[in-house]
């Protein structure tokens, strides 16, 4: 684990108490799904979905993958997608870099960022795509809706066996303001804390 990221992670568990009970109950349902899959020697495939697959869904995918590694939970695969494709927003990318991830940007309109959390860890390839893109699972997966717009406008996700709404306020609302960096860091920390709590309960 990269040293800066390790320091960031040490702040997460003390923050579990700040998660509202209603959200803990929701997160526990996702934990239970993962636990059922792993106890039956099956892979828990989680597809985090928001509208543009540009901010919240990527943050949730990345932090869940790191949490699984941190807690030694195997047989978890994380994915993300949107109801439409744009690009992994540079402001969200900057937030994970501040948290301690190392990110390689190959450039282009929709870069396939290589995100690593440790020197020997396989990179996560993060780019914007639709939820049913070929790189994502098409059967036997959980659809985790990370924004209310996607949840409302995408009532049916083909192939899913479990669907849950774990929505977050869009940091996009701060774009171009003096609070932009602060809001993105807040959302990054919130998602990290909740995904670590969720995986800790598996």
Domain with residue 84: its CATH number is 3.40.50.2300
Res 149 pLDDT > 90: no
CA atoms within 13 A on the CB side of 88: 29
Give the pLDDT score at 91.
Answer: 97
Res 154 pLDDT > 80: no
DSSP one-letter string for 118-153? STTSPPEEE---BTT-TTS--SSEEEEE-SHHHHHH
Q: How many structural domains does the chain have?
A: 1
CA–CA separation, 27 and 183 (whole Å): 22
Res 155 pLDDT > 80: no
Beta bridge partners of 127: none
Domain that includes residue 68, residue range: 3-200
Give the pLDDT score at 140.
Answer: 96
Structure confidence at residue 34 as a pLDDT band (50, 70, 90): very high
């Amino acid at each position: 684990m990269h040293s800066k990221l390790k320091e960031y992670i040490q702040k997460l568990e003390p923050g579990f108490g700040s998660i509202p009970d209603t959200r803990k109950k929701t997160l526990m349902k996702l934990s239970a799904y993962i636990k059922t899959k792993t106890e039956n020697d099956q892979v828990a495939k989680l597809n985090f979905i928001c509208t543009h697959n540009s901010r919240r869904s990527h943050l949730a995918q990345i932090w869940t993958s790191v949490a699984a590694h941190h807690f030694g939970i195997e047989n978890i695969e994380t994915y993300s997608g949107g109801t439409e494709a744009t690009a992994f927003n540079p402001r969200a990318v900057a937030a994970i870099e501040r948290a301690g991830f190392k990110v390689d940007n190959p450039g282009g309109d929709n870069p396939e960022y290589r995100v690593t959390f440790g020197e020997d860890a396989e990179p996560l390839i993060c780019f914007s795509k639709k939820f049913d893109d070929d790189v994502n699972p098409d059967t036997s997966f959980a659809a985790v809706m990370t924004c209310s717009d996607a949840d409302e406008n995408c009532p049916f996700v083909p192939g899913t066996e479990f669907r849950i709404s774990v929505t977050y306020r869009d940091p996009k609302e701060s774009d171009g303001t003096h609070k932009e960096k602060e809001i993105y860091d807040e959302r990054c920390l919130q998602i990290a804390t909740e995904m670590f709590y969720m995986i800790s309960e598996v």
